[in-house]
Amino acid sequence: MKQLHVIQMIGSTGLYGAERWILALMRAFNSTNIRCTLINLADTRGEKSEVVKAAHQRGLEGFDFYTGGRFNLGAAVRLAKWSRQNRVHIIHGHGFKSDMLGLLTARIAGCKIISTPHGWSLEKDLKLKLYESLDRILFRFMHQVCPLSPDLAEEFKQKAGCSNISLILNGVDLDEIDAVEGLEKSNKVFTIGYIGQLIERKNLHVLLKTIKKLDLVTDNIKLIIIGDGALRSKLEDNAEKLGIKNRISFMGFRPDAIKFLKTFDVFVLPSLMEGIPRCVMEAMACNVPVVASDIPGNRELVIHGKTGLLFPPGDVDNLTESILHIINNPDNAMKMAIEARNKIENEFSSKRMAEEYANLYRGLLL
**Helix (H, G, I), strand (E, B), or coil: what is residue 364?**
helix
pLDDT above 90 (res 118): no
Position 159 scores a pLDDT of 64
Quick one: 32 exposed, middle or buried, by C-beta within 10 A (0-12, 13-18, 19+)?
A: middle
Could you read off the pLDDT of 207-219 as tens digits, one per residue? Answer: 999 999 999 998 8
Cα–Cα distance measured from residue 162 to residue 139, given in angstroms and rounded to the nearest whole number: 7
Cα–Cα distance measured from residue 252 to residue 25, given in angstroms and rounded to the nearest whole number: 25
Residues 6+ apart with CB under 8 A from 57: none
- Number of neighbouring beta carbons within 10 Å of residue 274: 30
Q: What is the mean pLDDT of residues 122-133?
A: 61
State how beta strands 290-293 and 221-226 pair.
unpaired
Cα→Cα distances 126→21, 117, 130, 313, 366, Å: 27, 19, 6, 24, 41
Question: Do residues 311 and 275 make contact, with C-beta atoms less than 8 angstroms apart?
Answer: no
Position 1 scores a pLDDT of 64
Question: Do residues 87 and 2 make contact, with C-beta atoms less than 8 angstroms apart?
Answer: no
Residues 6+ apart with CB under 8 A from 327: 190, 218, 265
Could you read off the pLDDT of 160-203 as tens digits, one per residue? Answer: 667 788 889 888 889 889 999 988 887 889 999 999 999 999 99
Q: What is the mean pLDDT of residues 112-141?
A: 73
Q: What are residue 194's DSSP bridge partners?
A: 225
Position 117 scores a pLDDT of 84
Greater pLDDT, 43 or 285: 285
Cα–Cα distance measured from residue 68 to residue 78, given in angstroms and rounded to the nearest whole number: 11
Position 287 scores a pLDDT of 97
Position 179 scores a pLDDT of 93
Q: How far is CA 114 from the centre of its chain?
A: 18
pLDDT above 70 (res 129): no
Position 131 scores a pLDDT of 62
Position 79 scores a pLDDT of 96
pLDDT above 70 (res 120): no
Strands (E) across 43-149 are located at 61-66, 90-94, 112-115, 144-145
Provide the mean pLDDT of the chain. Answer: 90
Report angle CA 260, 283, 273 to the nearest 5 degrees.
115
The reply to whether the predicted model has a pTM over 0.85 is no
pLDDT above 70 (res 273): yes
- Tell me the H-state helices in 70-125: 73-85, 96-109
Question: Do residues 212 and 242 make contact, with C-beta atoms less than 8 angstroms apart?
Answer: yes
Give the single-character DSSP code of 265: S
Cα–Cα distance measured from residue 144 to residue 106, given in angstroms and rounded to the nearest whole number: 13
Could you read off the pLDDT of 287-330 as tens digits, one per residue? Answer: 999 999 999 889 999 999 999 999 999 999 999 999 999 999 99
Position 307 scores a pLDDT of 98
Position 333 scores a pLDDT of 98
Cα–Cα distance measured from residue 260 to residue 262, given in angstroms and rounded to the nearest whole number: 5
Could you read off the pLDDT of 27-59 as tens digits, one per residue? Answer: 998 767 899 999 999 988 888 999 999 999 999
**Helix (H, G, I), strand (E, B), or coil: what is residue 39?**
strand
Cα–Cα distance measured from residue 172 to residue 326, given in angstroms and rounded to the nearest whole number: 24
Position 78 scores a pLDDT of 96
Q: Which domains does the chain have, with CATH numbers?
A: 4-171+349-364 (3.40.50.2000), 175-347 (3.40.50.2000)
Question: Do residues 273 and 297 make contact, with C-beta atoms less than 8 angstroms apart?
Answer: yes
- Number of neighbouring beta carbons within 10 Å of residue 57: 10
pLDDT above 90 (res 155): no
Position 139 scores a pLDDT of 86
Position 340 scores a pLDDT of 98
Q: What is the mean pLDDT of residues 236-261?
A: 95
pLDDT above 70 (res 125): no
From 127, 154, 148, select the one nearest 17 (Cα to Cα).
Answer: 148
Strands (E) across the chain are located at 4-10, 34-42, 61-66, 90-94, 112-115, 144-145, 190-195, 221-226, 248-252, 266-269, 290-293, 309-311
Position 82 scores a pLDDT of 98
Cα–Cα distance measured from residue 255 to residue 253, given in angstroms and rounded to the nearest whole number: 7
CA-based torsion, 194, 253, 71, 99: positive or negative: negative
Could you read off the pLDDT of 64-74 as tens digits, one per residue? Answer: 999 987 667 89
Greater pLDDT, 334 or 187: 334
Q: How confident is the model at residue 127 (pLDDT cuts 50, 70, 90)?
A: low
Cα–Cα distance measured from residue 301 to residue 337, given in angstroms and rounded to the nearest whole number: 12
